[in-house]
Structure 1
Amino acid sequence: MINKLRFEPKELEILRFLSRRLELPLKNENLYLYLEKGYAGEQHFDRELQGLPDSCIILNDLLLENGSTHFQIDTLLIAGGTIFIFEVKNYEGDYYIENERWYSLLSRTEIKNPLLQLQRSETLLRGLLKEFGYYLPIKSHLIFINPGFQLYQAPINIPAVFPSQLKRFLEKLKNIPNAVKSRNLKLAEQLNAAA
């Protein structure tokens, strides 16, 4: 059950509108393409989640605050007695990890480590849940949605789901035992109110 829909980011709407009417400066053009690709990846993942049982609660695109710190979660799933955080990446091409740093293989340039964002979101969500009086386990995953993505030298224990693993991962989610739905709905309402 989708409890919070995903809407197109305002910044993407504005840049799309402007790009149709004028030539964007390179920095804005790159941002526009980045946002467009990211949003497409999130929509793809949304479609993949449609096959989950109705007992699963899906909250998309949450902007939350813990203390005075804001954080964003692409997709949050409440299934059984567990909360799943999904950070969706629509990366394309070859990447590698070296000394816990992420690089593009083509350009050999360092990119932001997506695990750091995932860990930050998990820590801040845990604090927020504590404020709400919930002590549920949180499982966080990077979702690499693009079939043209390859990551080399990844540790075996990286919390990531690669394109070739997505179908199996979704089957595991479908088999999570149901929990008390009213409790999960109450939590979903509190998270929606906080967003």
Structure 2
Amino acid sequence: MFLNERKKPYVILCYEALFRNLKETYRRNHKLIEDYKRFNAGYYGEKDVDYNLSLYPHKNFFILHDIRLKIFNKHFQIDTLIISKNFICILEIKNLAGEIEYDQELHQLIQKKGDKVIAIKDPILQAESQRMQLNTWLQRFNLTVPIETLVVSSNPSTILRIKQNDPDIYRKIIRTESLYLHLNELVKKYPENVLNKAQMKMISEIILNENSPKHPDLISKYNVQEQHLIKGIPCPACGHIPMNLLYKKWACPSCTTPGYKLHERYILDYFLLYNNTITNKQCRELLRINSPKSSYTILNSMNLQYIGKNSARKYLSPNVNDFPQNSDFPGKYKSVFDIFD
């Protein structure tokens, strides 16, 4: 069974928030767009693998997505983790286009896409590192569980070659459509139960409780300055900035288009881009409003948790899985993807 639904990770949510808040001139930064597309392709590759897993008879599997755990003050990340009574399997998912050649001796992937040739870290070693780290993490339970790894190529158009033509590598780097065959092989390889249902559930619950998704700081990464950013809420009809708050609704001073909850997306974007808390004053500065009472009403209407009292109150960011999953974009664009055309 799937124990947690795969949703957009922080990195994609943060990129989409940045696109929404950048002035149009700066949205077309080549590096910014390429990085976003790479992370987005990886996410959809993982979703494709999830779909194939959903077709597998997995009643005896616990399946977890996007896991990031801590050992020795460092984190390690796993795309998909499968826990069964007989073994644990780590899936390292790669969504790479073009021609891919794996060089076992140099421990790297070579990606050929058009005129570009890119060297990529060895995904088998990457998965093996995750296996060792997970094994260390599991030692707290005094359990000995076999851990297997599979590198899954999720792009159906990828041409995959193994340079040394080693048949063992073909059992390590696989395509999405053959995943069920390899899982069947693992079931046959490990016929003995090493975990009972209660132990599987215990481990899974602790993993989910200790999961700490990485929240990137894109403002610092791309050296975004104040002059690069939109100030206030743009009109969803004509793009005028800012809209005015009048009697609990937003109104465009240019085209008079009304809006009612336009502030919610921008407050959530603030959490993604700047801080995991927001004060009444910061909210007023963000939305370009003057009234502390209006800001208080807006923040409380979003049912955000908070700490502190009165002027010291800070409202807390939602969990990453509670952010909207759409990429709606105000103004002339319908989504962040439109700005790439």
Give the whole-Å Cα distance in 2 for the aligned partners of 1:45 and 1:112: 21
- Secondary structure in 1 matching 2:145: coil
Q: Are positions 1:105 and 2:104 aligned together? A: no
Q: Are positions 1:162 and 2:175 aligned together? A: yes
Describe the superposition over 1:75-132 as per-residue Cα deviations: whole angstroms up to 9, x where unpaired. 0001232000001111111011333332123433312222222111111000000123
Q: Which shows bigger deviation, 84-93 or 9-18?
A: 9-18
Give, in angstroms, the shift of residue 5 of structure 1.
2.1
What is the alpha-carbon root mean square deviation over aligned residues?
Answer: 2.3
Q: 8 Å contact 1:94–1:105 — kept in the other structure? A: yes
Give, in angstroms, the shift of residue 70 of structure 1.
0.4
Q: Given the alignment, which residue of 129, 133, 136 partners 1:127? A: 136
Q: Which shows bigger deviation, 53-62 or 106-115?
A: 106-115
Alignment match, 2:33: 29
Alignment match, 2:16: 16
The number of residue pairs the alignment matches comes to 195
Unaligned ranges ≥5, structure 1:
none
Give, in angstroms, the shift of residue 164 of structure 1.
5.2
Give the whole-Å Cα distance in 1 for the aligned partners of 2:53 and 2:44: 14
Matches within 5 A, 1:1-195: 1-19=1-19, 22=24, 23-51=27-55, 52-98=57-103, 99=105, 100-106=107-113, 107-152=116-161, 153=163, 155-158=166-169, 159-163=172-176, 165-169=178-182, 172=185, 180-195=196-211
Give, in angstroms, the shift of residue 142 of structure 1.
0.4
Give, in angstroms, the shift of residue 2 of structure 1.
1.1
Give the whole-Å Cα distance in 2 for the aligned partners of 1:131 and 1:40: 34
Structure with more strand by fraction:
1
Describe the superposition over 1:135-166 as per-residue Cα deviations: whole angstroms up to 9, x where unpaired. 10000110111111122225321212124533
Alignment match, 2:320: none
Alignment match, 2:334: none
Larger RCO: Structure 1 or Structure 2 (Cα < 8 Å, ≥ 6 residues apart)?
Answer: 1
The one-letter amino acid paired with 2:67 is L
- Secondary structure in 1 matching 2:69: strand
Give the whole-Å Cα distance in 1 for the aligned partners of 2:101 and 2:157: 14
Give, in angstroms, the shift of residue 44 of structure 1.
0.8
Give, in angstroms, the shift of residue 14 of structure 1.
2.4
The one-letter amino acid paired with 2:199 is R
Max Rg structure: 2
Unaligned ranges ≥5, structure 2:
212-341
- Secondary structure in 2 matching 1:62: strand
- Secondary structure in 2 matching 1:124: helix
The one-letter amino acid paired with 2:131 is E
Q: TM-score, normalised by structure 2?
A: 0.52
Give, in angstroms, the shift of residue 173 of structure 1.
6.6
Q: 8 Å contact 2:77–2:130 — kept in the other structure? A: yes
Q: 8 Å contact 2:86–2:187 — kept in the other structure? A: no
- Secondary structure in 2 matching 1:37: helix
